[in-house]
Amino acid sequence: MERREPALTRHEQAQRGGGPRPSGKAPKGPGGIRRSFKAPKKPVKKTQAGKRRIQKPRQAPIVPPQAVAGRALMLVVAIMSFLACLTVGFVTVVNDAATDWSNELVREITIQIRPVDGIDMLQQIDRTVALAQEFQGVGHVRALSDQETQELLQPWLGGDLNLDDLPVPRLILVKIAQPELLDLTEMKATIEDDIRGASLDDHRLWTQQLSSMANGAVVIGFGILILVLASMILSVVFATRAAMSGNKEVVEVLHFVGAEDSFIASQFQRHFLVLGLKGGLVGGAIGCLSFMLIEFLGNTPNEFGAAGQAQALLGTISVSWLGYVGAGLVVVLVAVLTALTSRIAVHSHLAGMD
Amino acid sequence: MIRFENVGLRYGMGPEILKDLTFSIEPQSFQFLTGPSGAGKTSLLRLLFLSLRPTRGLISAFGTDTSRVTKSQLPALRRRIGVVFQDFRLLDHLTTYENVALPHRVAGKMEADYRSDVIDLLKWVGLGDRMHVMPPVLSGGEKQRAAIARALITRPEVLLADEPTGNVDAPLARRLLRLFIELNRLGTSVLIATHDLHLLEQVNARHLVLHDGRMIVDE
Ligand SMILES: Nc1ncnc2c1ncn2[C@@H]1O[C@H](COP(=O)(O)OP(=O)(O)OP(=O)(O)O)[C@@H](O)[C@H]1O
Ligand SMILES: [Mg+2]
């Protein structure tokens, strides 16, 4: 039975390749291993020629998945991704708000007119309004009415106030239709020169403060993001080391059968990539859900006191698409970092081994 | 192929277990390594397999001084050497088939290319019907055969076997010995560490005898 097809046997042999082997000897040897190895080959080939094998066993992972501290690490990764997503969401909210602030604030200028002895306030106001309207890019200009001024001052000066009796400064609101056309410095100089007691406030100081605060918040946000990712990386390093110690036997055997370090590293890396992806997705999904929840709660009027305050400052609280994109990036980053970190950790562990 | 010159070995601060060994394993040679238990057979195999470095002396494998071999060169050298461990070192979470296929898999070969080889070899060592079970449910002898199969599957240039017949009965031991001899005929140098006298009697081969840390070569 073994001798039936020596040609096939020899052909197979030639294909087998592998290490250097003395030629000429192989095919002969009566009762040879070669022939013995081959014995069942023919029937197998015949029945399954050209087809995928029926009972092809799935290749089990060389490093058993349960040997990697899966659950705990996945939880850590999920929590870290969640925190990272929240940070990204926070950064985008603040950033969007800062953009809104600066956009809105240069669209509005306030001119304050302090009363000066001997000059008629109402006349001054009219002159100022007229003057302001001459500038390019200026939209609607309007003085606060007596009524409005009274309301504005009421908290400090009480209800029955006669503006004519008191030297109260008056305000003129200048809407700017096309900020790009307006020469603010010139406007400021002209108005302050022409009208006695007038001063122009373009809210710059306020804007600057807000935007530097926003920038600070963004920087802090990124700082937090880095710290969160760093602690995740450290957890992965520890988990990898633990997995390697737990799989010492496996690593040893792999070395004995001639595995390269990179092969061993990829065996571990597979698990960590899957783990990082799972953890990242869970954390990212919860992060996105909480974006939606914050948006929902934050914009529900008067239910939560805090929402009102935050809304006043930030406008409608909503995480823009950038936040969701950021969350997606966090998930990818987390998975890649997890896999990469474990790979590097395996390599350094192997390098330290003897 | 593998050459020892005045090799000495001690573990830590302990006594010198192997002293002044000078011998070589020639291509296509067949030899037994014997000696009483604790004589250092396993230690010698570990030296041959480059998993241990000598405390003194020179070992060269395939023409390379092993003290100059870097970590990254080690896998390539090890693939030329097959080892059967006294304690088998099978991976318990892989099937017998996967264990035997491991050297191929580690070398990055496609499963389709080695599958039938592995199956044939498993059948030949009598594990045809134990292919898909895990080592923990194998008997001692079955594990031993799986370990042998794993060492043979890539047809290494040198085969080192540590007590390869320690757990099998006489007929099977003879069969395994025949396997080693066949392998040797095909060009592999074989070194079998054993104190199984029956085994020694069956083949006319060189005996390397370890005694008191020194080696006596009995041609
Ligand atoms: N890792 C080690 N650390 C310290 N001493 C060791 C170590 N391995 C082996 N030894 C000692 O070296 C000596 C030789 O051990 P070795 O395992 O090489 O003997 P052996 O000839 O294989 O014995 P056996 O026939 O029982 O397998 C023994 O005294 C053993 O205690
Ligand atoms: Mg031993």
Is there a contact between B91 and A26 if contact means CB atoms under 8 Å apart? no
Q: Do B117 and A37 touch (CB under 8 A)?
A: yes
Domain assignment of residue B19, yes or no: no
Among B216, B208, B213, residue whose Cα is nearest residue B2: B208
- Ligand 1 atom index nearest CA of B43: 18
- Supply the pLDDT for residue A11: 36
Give the other-Cβ count within 10 Å of B45's Cβ: 21
B96-106 vs B111-124: helix crossing angle, rounded to 10: 130
Give chain B positions within 8 Å (CB) of A18.
Answer: 154-155
- The partner residue sitting opposite A21, judged by closest CB among B105, B108, B187, is B187
Residue B164 CB partners (closer than 8 Å, separation 6+): B84, B144, B147, B148, B176, B180, B192, B194
Pair type for strands B30-34 and B206-211: parallel
pLDDT at A320: 82
Tell me how far apart the alpha carbons of residues A3 and A7 are, in angstroms, rounded to a whole number: 10
What spacing in Å lies between the alpha carbon of A258 and ligand 1's midpoint? 24
Alpha helices in chain A (DSSP H): 6-16, 33-38, 41-47, 70-105, 121-133, 146-157, 184-194, 204-246, 248-256, 261-298, 305-314, 321-352
Task: Write out chain A's pLDDT in tens, 354 residues.
Answer: 333 333 333 333 334 333 333 333 333 333 334 444 443 333 333 344 444 444 444 678 888 877 676 788 899 999 999 999 999 998 888 888 777 766 665 677 888 888 887 778 888 888 888 888 888 888 888 888 877 877 777 777 776 767 666 777 888 888 888 877 778 788 888 888 888 888 888 777 777 787 788 888 889 999 999 999 999 999 999 999 888 888 888 999 999 999 999 999 999 998 899 999 999 999 999 999 998 888 887 666 554 445 455 555 555 667 788 889 999 999 999 999 999 999 999 999 998 876
Q: Is ligand 1 within 6 A of the CB of residue B43?
A: yes
Residue A186: exposed, middle, or buried by beta-carbon count in 10 A (0-12, 13-18, 19+)? exposed
User: Ligand 1: distance of its center to the CA of B44 in Å?
Assistant: 9
Sorted by sequence, the CB contacts under 8 Å of residue A147 that are 6+ apart come out as none
B41 CA from centroid of ligand 2 (Å): 5
- Is position B164 within any domain? no
- Report the pLDDT value the prediction gives residue A308, as an integer from 0 to 100: 53
Asked whether B123 and B147 are in contact (CB, 8 A), the reply is no
Sequence-ordered list of residues with C-beta below 8 angstroms from that of A195, at least 6 positions apart, any chain = A113, A124, A127, A128, A131
By C-alpha distance, which of A352, A281, A299 is closest to A81? A281
Closest ligand 1 atom to residue B44 Cα is 18
**Residue A15, both tokens:** 């294909």
Give the separation between CA A113 and CA A193, rounded to whole angstroms: 12
| Pairwise CA distance, residues A137 & A109, whole Å | 12
The complex's ipTM works out to 0.91
Closest residue of chain A to B106, computed from CA coordinates:
A259
- Report residue A147 as tokens: 């009524």
Q: Tell me the mean pLDDT in the region B117-141.
A: 92
| pLDDT at residue B192 tops 80 | yes
Residue A324: Cβ within 10 Å count = 19
Q: Which of B182, B183, B190 to mutate to test the interface with A (most CBs of A within 10 A)?
A: B182
Residue-level pLDDT at A278? 92
What's the CA gap between B159 and B163, in Å, rounded? 13
> Is A11 in CB contact (< 8 Å) with chain B?
no
Please name the helix (run of DSSP H) or strand (run of DSSP E) that holds residue B143, with its range, or none. Answer: helix B140-152
pLDDT of residue A21: 38
DSSP B158-191: EEEEESTTTTS-HHHHHHHHHHHHHHHHTT-EEE
Q: Does A44 touch chain B (CB under 8 A)?
A: yes
Q: Is residue B9 part of a domain?
A: no
Interface residue A3 vs chain B (CB under 8 A): no
Residue A259's identity, in one-letter code, is A
B17 lines ligand 1 (CB under 6 A): yes
Question: Could you give the 3-state DSSP secondary structure of residue A68?
Answer: coil
CB contacts of B67 in chain A (<8 Å) are: none
Domain containing residue B103: 94-154
Is residue B48 one of the residues assigned to a domain?
A: no
Per the CB < 8 Å rule, is B79 touching A263? no
Set of chain B residues whose Cβ sits within 8 Å of the Cβ of A62? 91, 94, 102, 105
Interface contacts A/B by beta carbons within 8 Å: 117
Rounded Cα–Cα distance for residues A171 and A173 (Å): 7
Distance A251 CA to ligand 2 centre (A): 21
* Domain count across chain B: 1
CA of A354 to the centre of ligand 1 (A): 19
Q: Please answer yes or no on whether B106 and A254 come within 8 Å at the CB atom.
A: yes
Could you tell me which residue, A16 or B202, shows the higher pLDDT? B202
| pLDDT (tens digit per residue) in A3-14 | 333 333 333 333
* Pairwise CA distance, residues A327 & A135, whole Å: 46
In a domain, B29, yes or no: no
pLDDT tens, residue by residue, B30-81: 999 999 988 999 999 999 999 899 999 999 999 999 999 988 899 999 999 9
**Rounded Cα gap, residues A286 and A79, in angstroms:** 9
Q: Mutation test of the interface with chain B: which of A58, A256, A349, A353, choosing the one with the most B Cβ atoms within 10 A?
A: A256
A106 residue type, one letter: V
**Can you tell me whether residue B7 is helix, strand or coil?**
strand
Whole-number pLDDT of residue A52: 43
Query: What is the C-alpha separation between B8 and B11, in angstroms, rounded?
Result: 10
A253/B102 touch (CB, cutoff 8 Å), yes or no:
yes
Q: Is residue B109 part of a domain?
A: yes
- Sheet arrangement for strand B16-25: B16-25, B2-10, B56-61, B64-65
